Amino acid sequence: MNTLIQGGRIVDPQTGELRQADIAIAARRIVAIGRANPDFAPDRVIDATGCWVLPGLIDLQARLREPGEEHRHLLESEMAAAAAGGVTSLVCPPDTEPVLDEPALVQMLKMRTEEAHHARLFPLGALTRALEGKALTEMAELTRAGCVGFSQADHPVKDTGVLLRAMQYAHSHGLSVWLQPLDAWLGGGVAASGPLATRMGLAGVPVIAETLGFHRLIELARSTGVRLHLTKISSAATVELLRQAKAEGLPVTADVSIQSLHLTDLDMGYFDSRARLSPPLRQLRDRDALRAALADGTIDALVSDHNPVHHNAKDLPFADAEPGASAIELLLNLALKWAEEDGVPLTRALEVVTAAPARVLGTAVGTLSASLGQLALGGSADVCVFDPAAQWQVSAAALRSQGKSTPFEGMLLQGKVRHTLAAGYVSHDAA
């Protein structure tokens, strides 16, 4: 099918380009930016007047809950939610049921998502079998099945010897490891350590749990030379350590969640389980440091940390509630909200959800690495058409995700995704 996106304003964070132009799409690729060939005959014309035309978003942290909860058809609903948020590529961690530690599971998951045409899925394989932190997985086979890196999700490896061997193996095969900096012995609380958690009687996760985990990972990465991506960092202290590691030239990248970027522990309110998250929400100084680090490039990417939690798992006392929130439909809006509040250029706000995560993925995505996260002539037609004048309020009814729990419920957001095209297919159409 030939598609013409007409009359929109192109905003390409990779090139900094902002201009009025049409985009012509044929055979799932962008064949013209500006004026299409007179012989181009579109089967469909999308009127983008008044809208921004952006590269499709890349979310480096989103759970689909499959395999594990097929009876709820979550794969279909969450991929549709991704498309509604303008996301055309997403990375899922391996903590499914069963864990993504077998090539057949990875192949099945990729096949099902490709059939739906909603968004492109890049799974992370388990670093250790069943995420138990004991035996390494067959990383080479998992890579051939489609994994773009290796992770322990929220399950830190306790045995440093195992972690060292995993990093040595990954480095020798040119693979990357994606790990959350967290000490296994200090990270078991339900809220950020501080005066509020103490008053509420909640078990805390101290900042040192993250910084100890950071030091351990960085020293192992320095020793092995492995490419290390740090997921969901949450504290000002870690930001400073990350800045030093990058200045040293270590091959390390990092992301932060939209929850840690916008909220603090005060948003827990009176034991509001919607704010039960992992990592927990920290104090205002941490939030401000994360926002500044994302603006100056110390933190590379912004992620949704989407995790659709059933209401039964949230309708519990705070400490017993399952951590997680629905967020993938809010990623673009909350990136723009951060930019507006902090005076960050529009191109940087878009870069952290498009070109920057594409750089984190690098060559692990094969030939897509040449065009992912940008609007490139001849590149894959991953496009988001966004109406900056529209407004909407976050509510359970407004979300496509089956996970209706979000600490952003009730927030009024500026702008709305009108169309999403994933590899040329119209995966979302709100017109």
In the chain, where are the structural domains located? Answer: 3-52+381-393+413-429, 56-366
H/E stretch holding 47: strand 44-47
**Closest Cα to residue 298, out of 373, 354, 350, 236?**
236
Residue linked to tokens 């979302």: 428
Please give the backbone phi and psi of residue 2, each rounded to the nearest 5 degrees, phi first: -95, 135
Per-residue confidence (pLDDT) for residue 369, from 0 to 100? 86
- Is 272 in the active site? no
Per-residue confidence (pLDDT) for residue 370, from 0 to 100? 86
- CATH number for the region 3-52+381-393+413-429 comes to 2.30.40.10
- What is the chain's pLDDT, residue by residue, as a tens digit (431 residues)? 899 999 999 998 877 778 899 999 999 999 999 887 888 999 999 999 999 999 999 999 999 988 877 777 788 999 999 999 999 999 999 999 999 999 999 999 999 888 877 899 999 999 999 999 999 999 999 999 999 999 999 999 999 999 999 999 999 999 999 999 999 999 889 999 999 999 999 999 999 999 999 999 999 999 999 999 999 999 999 999 999 999 999 999 999 999 999 999 999 999 999 999 999 999 999 999 999 999 999 999 999 999 999 999 999 999 999 999 999 999 999 999 999 999 999 999 999 999 999 999 999 998 888 889 999 999 999 999 999 999 999 999 999 999 999 999 999 999 999 999 999 999 999 97
**Closest Cα to residue 258, out of 225, 224, 281?**
281
Residues 77-132 have pLDDT tens digits of 999 999 999 999 999 999 999 999 999 999 999 998 888 778 999 999 999 999 99
Q: Which of 59, 265, 305, 382 is catalytic?
A: 305
Name residue 414's beta-bridge partners: 391
Torsion of CA 76, 81, 83, 84, to 10 degrees: 140
Rounded CA-CA distance 204/198 in Å is 8
CB atoms within 10 A of CB 336: 21
Per-residue confidence (pLDDT) for residue 259, from 0 to 100? 98
Per-residue confidence (pLDDT) for residue 329, from 0 to 100? 98
User: What is the topology classification, in CATH, of domain 56-366?
Assistant: TIM Barrel (3.20.20)
Rounded CA-CA distance 356/248 in Å is 20
Rounded CA-CA distance 310/402 in Å is 8
**Closest Cα to residue 129, out of 95, 160, 106?**
95
Name residue 69's beta-bridge partners: none
Per-residue confidence (pLDDT) for residue 91, from 0 to 100? 98
Residues 11-60 have pLDDT tens digits of 988 777 788 999 999 999 999 998 878 889 999 999 999 999 999 999 99
Burial annotation 166-186 (CB, 10 A radius, 16+ → b, else e)? bbebbbeeebbbbbbbbbbeb
Judge whether 3-52+381-393+413-429 and 56-366 match in fold: no
Tokens of 253: 């990248």
Rounded CA-CA distance 303/98 in Å is 24
